[in-house]
Amino acid sequence: MLLTIDVGNTQTTLGLFDGEDVVEHWRISTDPRRTADELAVLMQGLMGNHTAVHEAVVEGLAICSSVPAVLHELREVTRRYYGDVPAVIVEPGVKTGVHVLMDNPKEVGADRIVNALAANHLYGGPCIVVDFGTATTFDAVNARGDYVGGAIAPGIEISVEALGVRGAQLRKIELARPRNVIGKNTVEGMQSGILYGFAGQVDGLVDRMAKELSKDPDDVQVIATGGLAPLVLGEATTIDVHEPWLTLIGLRLVYERNRPA
């Protein structure tokens, strides 16, 4: 089986593939202080506690990371605990098949390239990937499958935390759908502003990007992914598809392009 690991700034997602199918997945907090030994114990514990996969043999590893400290420790995990297992880490020099049409291609996060690869593979171009993570990122892929650029906005959780910290009479709230758009109390008002405000942001940015990406904006597929995507799905009218494991699928595709013969 193939173990895929996507390290984000806030959360790390792991997925175990049997062929093209995700047979199990886990989501844990990203902690740059964890050592390689702690990460290995955590990974093996997650797999060992699931009856469906506790006897699974990891035959390959595919990793991308937005956090250099964690990536360093994961390299050590692959060396010490999976030394005989082929491992592919998405970094410069790894074949993705995605042409990055940016001023400085090295600035683009590995997860965004992997998302572009998976989106084009699953749905074709032109398409836009909206990833709801620590930041909300918008990534544009043209009809040829090239990564042509994107946009970065503050993430939902960051905005909620900022309101709680900077608002004298505001506080941290649960990310949930309020009863009405017009809130009847402070909590509902904040929930409404966050939920419908972000939905409007998504629709506004997607509309503008689609017009630049294609002569017929209706041809542009919009794929949502990321841990907070379900919160906005029912309100953002421009989203066509929800693919929660898009990055993991992209990692599987990168592994297949780079694994030893």
Give the active site residues. Answer: 111
Sheet harboring 135-141: ordered strands across? 147-154, 135-141, 127-132, 221-225, 241-242
Structural contact between residues 131 and 249, judged by C-beta atoms closer than 8 angstroms? no
Tokens encoding 131: 């990833």
Sign of the Cα pseudo-torsion (251, 65, 30, 71, in order): positive
Structural contact between residues 130 and 136, judged by C-beta atoms closer than 8 angstroms? yes
